[in-house]
Structure 1
Amino acid sequence: MTGAHGVRPAPGPDQPPIPVRLVTFNTHHGVGADARHDLPRLAKVLASVDADVICLQEVDRYFGDRSEDVDQALLLSRALDMQLAWGPAIDEPRTGGRPPRQYGNALLSRLPILVSDVHPLPGGGEPRSALRTMLELDGGTLWITATHLTTTSARERADQVAALAALHTPDMAAGVLVGDFNARPDAPELHPLRERFTDAWELAADRTDQAGWRFWHRDEGHTHPARSPHRRIDQAWVSPGVGVATAQVLDAEGASDHLPLMVDLRVPSGV
């Protein structure tokens, strides 16, 4: 139930929040720092996180030689024994009865997927899209929108952010927006997100990253590039009422040019 101005009441003492572990990760179509396509390596990294929901960007489905022309989304979902929602940004038909050449966002979930739809985002150049899903929780629901914004133009990113914000309406209750935004969280073009969401990294009670010896960058949440991260472009944004217990940048074990971001959410019951 939603209160005035779309703000949900806090769960009562008899309705504890529901824990959900979520990971967002730009997989670079399974090609790691060694320039090798290695889907088993990527699956091993993902399995080690023990997440309830995994949102992936730059995923190929029969895209071509760079990823051995396999269906990465399906193979990863089977390897992890998770449900799959698929959101192509590029969708090109092929001749000879072959499946279409696709590239985009994937969501893997241990939780039942009740709704899944794909929304093209505005802009020129490489097509971009948002994958919106509703997941069933034990005592509630959670909307997750996963995306990958353009690299080429802050103005186009602003248009894409406006489209993303419009996808989450007040009656959708608990929601999370995740992905590779190709901009820092305080970039002007991401400002409209702050009107509806909170940066999970800032909200987290406990947070750690992969800064290592670079102690002056500690706890800044940098995810790119993987070998020497200094950009926080992989992010999670949560709607009012969704808590964040921990946020952690994980070691990708060389599986991508990004590092994964993990957040332990606390989703209100009964919404």
Structure 2
Amino acid sequence: MTGPHGIKPAPGPDQPPVPVRLVTFNTHHGVGEDSRHDLPRLAKVLASVDADVICLQEVDRYFGDRSEDVDQALLLSRALDMQLAWGPAIDEPRPGDLPPRQYGNALLSRLPILVSDVHRLPGGGEPRSALRTMLELDGSTLWVTATHLTTRSAQERSAQVAALAALHTEDMAAGVLVGDFNAPPAAPELGPLRERFTDAWELAPERGDQAGWRFWQRDEGHTHPARAPHRRIDQAWVSAGVGVAGAQVLDADGASDHLPFMVDLQVPSGV
């Protein structure tokens, strides 16, 4: 049996796991390396991945001139014909009947979204949040939490990570936590994640990145900055039992200051 992306699920005692392709991508509100806001370019990059779930950070909804005051989340979901879950971090009212000015995390899914909730994370400065969703699979479910942590300090990130880890309770079974963590996977402040989750990049038997001629950085999974990546801050962490068939840093075609990170998950059936 082969999954929709050519992945052969690992054998299980009852049923084979369900393959799910997931991408996490900090979109820089649709502004690319050329300083242009180009949502069609971003949509083209996302469509080329052929993912089941896409988690996006730095998404604008009627935020202002920098993104042409459009609803990026809705436009991308329509362009890709995917369901949308939205998790604002900034949510400011505007006068009259104008929709609120928002900025945050979006999840696009081919899979049915059964649950969606937003959780404010602790810390000062720019507000941060986590978007938690439960997705329906064939004979299974998958919890996906998407986030974007602060750049202010390791101490604030530590408090945010503790809040994130607490969102995945024991009865939630299969889960994945993804996003821009603004810290490498081995950073001390990510300790609570390492206690309950496993870095998907390290689990993947097959992986690739955009190191190119920089042979000394090959297979390190760097995603930022896009032009010359040397930081692995865009990550996916999986709960016990969730397998990883492959992981890859993708080319963003200049659509953002980050590169997209893709993981091919194997979700246990019947959970």
TM-score between the two structures when normalised by the length of structure 2: 0.96
Conserved 8 A contact 1:11-1:269: no
Q: Within 2, Cα distance between the matches of 1:117 and 1:92?
A: 18
Alpha-carbon offset, residue 45 of structure 1: 0.1
Q: Within 2, Cα distance between the matches of 1:94 and 1:246?
A: 44
Conserved 8 A contact 1:114-1:134: yes
Indicate the SS of the match to 1:195.
Answer: helix
Matched to 1:187, the amino acid is A
Q: Within 1, Cα distance between the matches of 2:196 and 2:13?
A: 26
Matched to 1:101, the amino acid is R
Q: Within 1, Cα distance between the matches of 2:35 and 2:28?
A: 10
Residue 109 of structure 1 aligns with which residue? 109
Residue 232 of structure 2 aligns with which residue? 232
Residue 3 of structure 2 aligns with which residue? none
Q: Within 1, Cα distance between the matches of 2:237 and 2:20?
A: 14
Residue 267 of structure 1 aligns with which residue? 267
Q: Within 2, Cα distance between the matches of 1:139 and 1:14?
A: 12
Q: Name segments (4+ residues, structure 1) moved above 6 Å.
A: none
Indicate the SS of the match to 2:15.
Answer: coil
Residue 168 of structure 1 aligns with which residue? 168
Spell out the pairing of 1:19-34 with structure 2 (5 A cutoff): 19-34=19-34
Residue 126 of structure 2 aligns with which residue? 126
Q: Within 1, Cα distance between the matches of 2:12 and 2:257?
A: 43
1:241 aligns with 2:211: no
Structure 2 gaps, min length 5: 1-9
Residue 140 of structure 1 aligns with which residue? 140
Indicate the SS of the match to 1:178.
Answer: strand
Q: Within 2, Cα distance between the matches of 1:154 and 1:233?
A: 13
What is the RMSD of the two structures over their aligned residues, measured on CA atoms?
A: 0.9
Indicate the SS of the match to 2:264.
Answer: strand
Q: Within 2, Cα distance between the matches of 1:160 and 1:88?
A: 16
Matched to 1:252, the amino acid is A
TM-score between the two structures when normalised by the length of structure 1: 0.96
Spell out the pairing of 1:172-183 with structure 2 (5 A cutoff): 172-183=172-183
Alignment length (residue pairs): 262
1:56 aligns with 2:56: yes
Q: 1:26 and 1:223, CA in 2 relative to 1: closer, same or farther beyond 3 A?
A: same
Alpha-carbon offset, residue 11 of structure 1: 7.4
Q: Within 2, Cα distance between the matches of 1:267 and 1:205?
A: 16
How far does the alpha carbon of each residue in 1:226-264 deviate from its partner, in whole angstroms, 9 at most, with x for none? 000000000000000000000000000000000000000
